[in-house]
């Protein structure tokens, strides 16, 4: 797990704790992580994140858009449709 900063570790913790069938926005994750002012960094951390243990696909934008996914946005949409049971857009 290497040397993650408290920020990243916290973000991973929160994202990993997201219950199935639910999703959080980047800003919400940052807020839950304890860094509500660094919602920007949340997306960056997840982007560079290579940990498959982190359901980063459950984190979407506040715009209601899916956002992105380092494994493929298409994959993220599929996961959201299957796990979060959400509608397209």
Partner DNA sequence: CGTATGACGTGCA
Partner DNA sequence: GTGCACGCCATAC
Per CB under 7 A, the list member of 25, 31, 83, 86 interacting with DNA is 25
56 is catalytic: yes
Contact between 33 and DNA by CB under 7 A: the answer reads no
Contact between 87 and DNA by CB under 7 A: the answer reads no
C-alpha distances (whole Å) from 73 to each of 1, 3, 85 are: 25, 28, 16
C-alpha distances (whole Å) from 77 to each of 1, 16, 31, 70 are: 27, 18, 24, 12
Q: Which residue among the candidates 14, 56, 60, 66 is catalytic per the annotation?
A: 56
Contact between 14 and DNA by CB under 7 A: the answer reads no
Per CB under 7 A, the list member of 14, 18, 33, 38 interacting with DNA is 38
Tokens of residue 24, six digits: 């959080």
Phi, psi of 51 (to 5 degrees): -85, 110
Give the three-class secondary structure for 24. strand
Contact residues toward DNA (CB under 7 A) are 5, 7-8, 25-27, 35, 37-49, 56-57, 59, 61-63, 67-70, 76
Catalytic residues: 56
């Amino acid at each position: 797990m290497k040397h993650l900063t408290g920020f990243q570790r916290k973000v991973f913790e929160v994202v990993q704790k997201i219950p199935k069938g639910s999703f959080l926005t980047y800003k919400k994750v940052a807020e839950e992580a304890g860094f509500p002012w660094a919602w920007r960094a949340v997306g960056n951390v997840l982007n560079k994140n290579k940990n498959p243990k982190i359901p980063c696909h459950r984190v979407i934008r506040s715009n209601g858009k899916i956002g992105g996914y380092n494994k493929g946005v298409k994959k993220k949409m599929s996961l959201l449709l299957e796990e979060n049971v959400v509608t397209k857009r």
